[in-house]
Amino acid sequence: MTIGAVNNSYYQNPDTTTTTSVSGSSGLSESDFLQLLVAQLKNQDPDSPQDPSQFAAQLAEFATVEQLQNLNQNVQAMNQAQELGAAAGMIGKTVTVSTGNNQTVTGTVEKVTYAAGSDPQVVINGTGYDFNAITEVD
């Protein structure tokens, strides 16, 4: 992300010898963005100041990105809940699960287990299998 005149991988404040690294791979937090904005304001050329409408546009863009990240997290949580519900609906049904290497296991789903942040597991004959590995439901 490029923010005004700060578009290189390192920004050095001319008043100090401190160099601040700007990493785009981990994303900018609100605090990082505000620090860059303040540094940009402090160090802009007084003879050709930054257009205030550009600052407003940058703030709006940052807010939009933040809301998109929140929306993405909500959609992921909804998908996990939907997947867990679908897995729970398999209890008592006979399913075939792919275990890899062209091997399958067929059996009745005894229960479903779930750990936060991972896919649900269907338990067949005491062994857990990834819900997404189900290839057939009878």
Helix (H) or strand (E) holding 83: helix 52-88
Tell me the pLDDT of the chain averaged across its residues. Answer: 79
> What's the whole-number mean pLDDT along residues 130-136?
92
In this structure, which amino acid lies at residue 109?
A: V
Is pLDDT at 50 greater than 90 in this prediction? no
pLDDT of amino acid 42: 82
pTM: 0.54
As a whole-number percent, the residues of the chain with pLDDT over 70 amount to: 78
The dihedrals phi and psi of 91, each to the nearest 5 degrees, come to -60, 130
**Tell me, which fold does domain 55-138 have in CATH?**
SH3 type barrels. (2.30.30)
In this structure, which amino acid lies at residue 92?
A: G
pLDDT of amino acid 133: 92
pLDDT band at 130 (very low <50, low <70, confident <90, very high): very high
